[in-house]
């Protein structure tokens, strides 16, 4: 090979990324690339064949690249390309697209509202592309209806509860006035006349396509849907679930082992919760302590401003303490803002890597069901205050995602988030034992996810078994039901949190034993965060070489 290894890797990564953006135009839009902003993905056999050809040809090229002599970042890039291609080929072989087409959270009916938030349509040229994309929606949904028919014919259908929830969602969308549609409401247009044009397209083009898809779901597909919610009940279901485990976590693990890990984690967390309960005078009655926490006015912000101010105080405290635990601090700041009504209830937006804009922790408006101050929830405080918004940077300050698309980031990203909840305790960021109890509830929640996901999809649990187990782990009835239905629709996603956390904690123990008193926790955290979102196997292999032993 005449080319230098690094240039070969760069060339492959660049070509792969460019080809993928063309095949996934809405992904391109979300990364700020406007070249394909006039089109949608092609879920037809033609589009699928193009993707499969890309996975196979790129994977073959990785085999010709000698790993010896590559830089750290180049080894990471090759690893990520291999993982992406292997998972893509496996998904195509098992036709997971036929299953994904019905999903109340991420199905095709959700695409336009999401991409509209990223797509600029504020010039004539941009608006023309946006209009073309909206008008491509009927063909896109027709191809998805073909997938429904294919799934019905092969028996590879979604669980009935997922179909019913998707039908209910589409019915709500179609019953609402067009003025209330999130598409025109969030369209980034230059004038009210353009917004009115978007409303017309939604009424005349988008909604009729949704009605056709809804009719397809209501008809023979609903009748053919799987009554048992677990993936085990689908044709080749056990293999499908192993694929989903690998896709979400980037590791291959036996579902039975994961199930037991969840039970063991819960037992450990329960011991910690009972200790706090006993010290507070409630004995082993953690339910009574939780109710007392919920009823305590000190834990219930009375206004939005009070909630935001508390979050800002916590962020300020964390940033003061963080340099003792992190060598590299974010160049951009972190702002706390109330979330816009049309966005998700709780969202953490990372800092803009190139622009140097601050990251945003967006807090939801106060509602009767507002999480209490003592509760530690996903992407919320106190986890947020121990999760510095370090951008995913590769070489020369370029975002890693700009160099090569990452595989699903779940296990790394969610694992770090859950690790940081424990780190917040280590940093002394919890003001009270009640706050620590809230953190432990959140840890138990994620441990329970290991149990219910594997229970549903491998061990043949019923939906009610999952709900009952989550209730016993400390979740409310509403949360237990929502969680169960979420993981019926997304097999494997629930595993990312605890498995990712355990991987990071295991590496920390390994390096602490290796280096003893010379172990540098600040360097450990910098190296975990400093190379972008990684497959867990890559992190486990490379991290010990990145964290150096001081002389």
Q: Answer for the pair 391, 367: CB distance below 8 angstroms, yes or no.
A: no
Beta strands 347-349 and 359-363 are: antiparallel
Contact 77, 404 (CB under 8 A): yes
DSSP bridge partners of 159: 226
Least Cα distance to 36 among 130, 167, 113, 107 occurs for 130
For CA atoms 157, 160, 165, 170, the dihedral sign is positive
Q: Both tokens of residue 35?
A: 């070249």
Model pLDDT, residue 336: 81
DSSP assignment of 280-344 equals: TT-TT-HHHHHHHHHH-GGGS-SSHHHHHHHHHHHHHHHHHHGGGT-SS--SS-EEEEEPPTTS-
Per the rule left: phi > 0, alpha: psi between -120 and 50, beta: everything else, 251 is beta
| Alpha carbons 141 and 147: distance in angstroms, whole number | 10
Q: Edge to edge, what strands does the sheet with 359-363 contain?
A: 334-338, 359-363, 347-349
CA atoms of 64 and 57, how far apart (whole Å): 12
* 188 touches 122 (CB < 8 A): yes
Name the burial class of residue 290, with classes exposed (0-12), middle (13-18) and buried (19+) by CB atoms within 10 angstroms of its CB. Answer: buried
- CA neighbours closer than 13 Å in the CB half-sphere of residue 374: 21
Q: What is the pLDDT of residue 297?
A: 87
Torsion of CA 20, 25, 29, 30, to 10 degrees: -60
What is the structure's pLDDT at 292?
A: 94
d(CA 126, CA 133): 11
Q: Tell me the chain's radius of gyration from C-alpha atoms.
A: 24
Helical segments of 157-236, H only = 160-175, 182-186, 192-201, 207-216, 222-224
Give the C-alpha separation, 74 to 238, whole Å: 35
Cβ atoms of residues 213 and 143 within 8 Å: no
Cis peptide bond prior to 382, omega within 30° of 0? yes
pLDDT digits (tens, 9 = 90+) for 356-409: 445 554 444 333 344 454 553 344 433 332 333 333 323 333 334 345 555 556
How many of the other CB atoms lie within 10 Å of CB of 410? 22
> DSSP string covering 4-47, please?
-HHHHHHHHHHHHHHHHHHH-HHHHHHTT--TTTT-----SHHH
| Coil, helix or strand at residue 157 | coil
**Cβ partners under 8 Å of residue 297, min gap 6:** none
Tokens of 278: 């006993």
189 DSSP 8-state letter: E
CB burial of residue 274 (10 Å; 0-12, 13-18, 19+): middle
Asked if residue 493 lies in contact with residue 415, where contact means CB atoms within 8 angstroms, the answer is no
- The pLDDT, as a whole number, for residue 439 is 96
Which residue in 435, 311, 422 sits closest to 374, CA to CA?
435
pLDDT at res. 518: 95
pLDDT for 355 equals 39
Q: How far apart are CA 484 and CA 452, in angstroms?
A: 8
pLDDT averaged per 10 residues in sequence order, the chain, 551 residues: 72 96 96 97 98 98 91 92 94 94 95 96 98 99 98 97 97 95 96 98 98 96 97 96 94 97 98 97 95 88 87 91 92 74 44 43 41 44 33 35 55 94 95 94 96 98 98 93 95 97 98 96 95 91 88 63
The pLDDT assigned to 391 comes to 32
| CA atoms of 244 and 382, how far apart (whole Å) | 30
DSSP label at 218? I
- For residue 371, which phi and psi values (nearest 5 degrees)? -55, 140
- Burial class from Cβ neighbours inside 10 Å (0-12, 13-18, 19+) for residue 272 reads middle
**What pLDDT, in 10s, does the model give residues 25-82?**
999 999 999 999 999 999 999 999 999 999 999 999 999 999 888 999 999 999 999 9
Phi and psi torsions of 266, nearest 5°: -65, -40
Q: How far apart are CA 207 and CA 179, in angstroms?
A: 13
Structural contact between residues 435 and 376, judged by C-beta atoms closer than 8 angstroms: yes
């Amino acid at each position: 090979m005449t080319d230098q290894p690094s240039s070969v890797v760069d060339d492959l990564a660049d070509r792969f990324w460019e080809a993928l953006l063309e095949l996934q135009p809405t992904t391109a839009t979300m990364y700020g690339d406007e070249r394909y902003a006039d089109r949608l993905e092609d879920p037809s056999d033609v589009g699928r064949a193009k993707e499969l050809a890309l996975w196979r040809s790129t994977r073959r090229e990785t085999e010709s690249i000698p790993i010896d002599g590559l830089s750290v970042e180049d080894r990471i890039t090759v690893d990520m390309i291999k993982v992406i291609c292997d998972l893509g080929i496996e998904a195509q072989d098992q036709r997971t697209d036929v299953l994904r087409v019905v999903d109340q959270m991420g199905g095709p009916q959700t695409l336009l509202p999401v991409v509209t938030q990223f797509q600029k349509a504020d010039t004539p040229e941009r608006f023309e592309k946006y209009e073309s994309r909206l008008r491509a929606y009927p063909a896109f949904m027709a191809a998805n209806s073909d997938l429904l028919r294919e799934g019905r014919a092969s028996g590879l259908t979604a669980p009935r509860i997922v179909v019913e929830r998707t039908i209910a969602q589409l019915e709500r969308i179609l019953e609402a006035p067009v003025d209330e549609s999130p598409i025109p409401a969030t369209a980034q247009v230059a004038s009210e006349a353009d917004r009115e044009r978007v409303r017309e397209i939604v009424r005349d083009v988008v909604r009729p396509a949704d009605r056709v898809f809804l009719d397809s779901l209501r008809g023979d597909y609903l009748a053919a849907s799987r009554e048992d919610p677990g993936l085990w009940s689908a044709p080749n279901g056990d293999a499908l679930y192993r694929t989903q485990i690998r896709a979400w976590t980037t590791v291959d693990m036996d579902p039975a082992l994961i199930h037991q890990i969840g039970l063991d984690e819960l037992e450990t967390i329960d011991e910690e919760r009972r200790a706090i309960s006993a010290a507070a005078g409630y004995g082993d009655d953690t339910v009574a302590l939780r109710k007392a926490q919920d009823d305590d006015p000190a834990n219930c912000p009375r206004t939005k401003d009070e909630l935001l101010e508390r979050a800002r105080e916590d962020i300020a405290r964390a940033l003061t303490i963080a340099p003792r635990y992190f060598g590299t601090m974010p160049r951009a700041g972190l702002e706390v803002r109330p979330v816009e009504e049309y966005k998700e209830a709780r969202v953490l937006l990372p800092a803009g890597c190139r622009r140097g804009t601050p990251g945003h922790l967006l807090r939801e408006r106060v509602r009767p069901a507002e999480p209490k101050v003592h509760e530690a929830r996903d992407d919320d405080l106190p986890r947020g205050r121990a999760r510095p918004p370090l951008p995913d940077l590769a070489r020369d300050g370029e975002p890693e995602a700009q160099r090569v698309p990452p595989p699903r980031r779940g296990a790394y990203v969610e694992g770090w988030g859950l690790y940081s909840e424990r780190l917040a305790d280590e940093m002394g960021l919890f003001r009270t034992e009640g706050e620590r109890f809230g953190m432990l509830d959140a840890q138990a929640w994620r441990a329970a996810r290991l149990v219910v996901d594997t229970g549903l999809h491998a061990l043949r649990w019923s939906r009610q078994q999952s709900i009952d187990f989550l209730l016993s782990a400390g979740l409310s009835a509403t949360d237990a039901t929502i969680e169960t239905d979420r993981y019926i629709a997304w097999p494997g996603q629930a595993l990312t949190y605890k498995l990712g956390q355990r991987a990071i904690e295991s590496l920390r123990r390994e390096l602490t034993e290796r280096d003893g008193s010379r172990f540098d926790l600040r360097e450990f955290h910098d190296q975990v965060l400093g190379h972008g979102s990684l497959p867990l196997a890559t992190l486990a292999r490379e991290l010990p070489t990145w964290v150096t032993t001081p002389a």
